[in-house]
Amino acid sequence: MKAILQLKEINFHWHRKDPPLFPSLNLTVPKEKATALLGPNGTGKTTIMDMALGWRHPQGGQIELDGRDIQQWNPRKRGQFMALVPQDETIYFDYSVLEYILLGRAPYLPPLGSPGSEDKQIAEEALKEAGIIHLANRKVSRLSGGERQLVLLARALTQQPQLLLLDEPASHLDLHNREKILKILEKLNRKGISLFFSSHDPELVMRLADHAILLKEGSVIHAGDSRDVLNERNLTELYNVPVRIARVEDRRVLVWGD
């Protein structure tokens, strides 16, 4: 199993005097797989995403992107290799969807450059991929929550990345939009794009992930093939509530609580 991203013996704390959020964290994201980072709220999933992105620096340990220390990556090359789909984003100005998506071409442009017709074509392809080409000229401020999430995904695709980081990709979407984004992510993964997404929703992870990493109290408690890792015992241990897994047709569904 070849790794696209590795966090090795990560020591991270917010303030020097505080106990560490991660005393010594190790995790591996395999290449060309869909990997889920699953854990209860407040366990530091977003912080891990930020460190994977090279945006937040741990006090100790090493982060390797495609076998190279993330700090040694040229920012533009890093932007061509890895893209982020944030949970949401504050947008202060009223861009059209196409203008907004084109920002994803930044890693390919020189400092004095601006997007040309080829970039526009790539952006339109990304909009088609995300199924929102009809929104190209709509203002971002007038989109629904589900449409916004798809726009954020399309912008990341405009970066033509090999690794896509997704921070809680479907956490505030309705069932229709959840299904839509899930299908798109499955398709991208089949095309060979590695996915690394955080979630607190085991059912989403069961649907999408090949590989699952279970995070609790600053450590990885279980990691491996998602079919093996996502069992009743591990999920009960993760959430501190009794969890049962039932089968409905060929799907596994979760039943929790006493």
Partner 1 sequence: MSSKRAVIIKNLILLFLLIALAGGSLLLGRYPHPGFLNPGDLATDPIARNIVMNLRLPRIITAIILGSTLALAGLVFQTILGNPLVEPGFLGVSQGAAFGAALVIILNIKNPLAVPLAAGLFALIALILTWSLARFIRYGGWIIRLILAGIIISALFSSGLGILKYLADPLSQLQEITFWMMGGLSGVGWQELKYILPLTLPPLILIVIMRWRLNLLSMGDRTAHALGISPILEKNFFLLIAVIATATVVAYCGIIGWIGLIIPHIARRLAGSDTGKSVPAALLSGGIFAIISDDIARTVTTGEIPLGILTSLAGALIFTVLMICTPLRKHA
Q: Does 55 bind partner 1 (CB under 8 A)?
A: yes
Choose the stretch contacting partner 1; rule: CB under 8 A; options: 80-88, 173-181, 227-235, 242-250. Answer: 80-88
Choose the stretch contacting partner 1; rule: CB under 8 A; options: 3-11, 34-42, 78-86, 245-253. Answer: 78-86
What is the pattern of x (binds partner 1, CB under 8 A) and - over residues 134-163? ---x---x-----------------x----
Q: Which of 8, 76, 216, 252 binds partner 1 (CB under 8 A)?
A: 76
By CB under 8 A, what part of segment 181-240 binds partner 1?
A: none
Contacts of 227 (CB under 8 A, 6+ apart): none
Instruction: Number of helices (H) and strands (E) in the chain: give both, helices first.
Output: 9, 12
CB of 215 to partner 1, least distance (A): 20
Return the number of the residue (30 or 86) whose C-beta is nearest partner 1.
86
Three-class SS string for 37-51?
Answer: EECCCCCCHHHHHHH
Q: Which of 14, 67, 71, 103 binds partner 1 (CB under 8 A)?
A: 103
CB of 101 to partner 1, least distance (A): 12
How far is the C-alpha of 101 from the C-alpha of 151, rounded, in Å?
A: 7
Q: What are phi and psi of 162, to 5 degrees?
A: -95, -25
- Which residue stretches of the chain are H helix? 45-52, 75-81, 97-102, 117-129, 145-158, 175-190, 202-208, 226-229, 232-239
Nearest CA among 50, 85, 46, 48 for reference residue 181? 85
107 DSSP assignment: G
Residues in contact with partner 1 by the rule CB under 8 A: 50, 53-55, 75-80, 82-84, 86, 89-96, 99, 103-104, 106-107, 109, 111-115, 137, 141, 159, 165
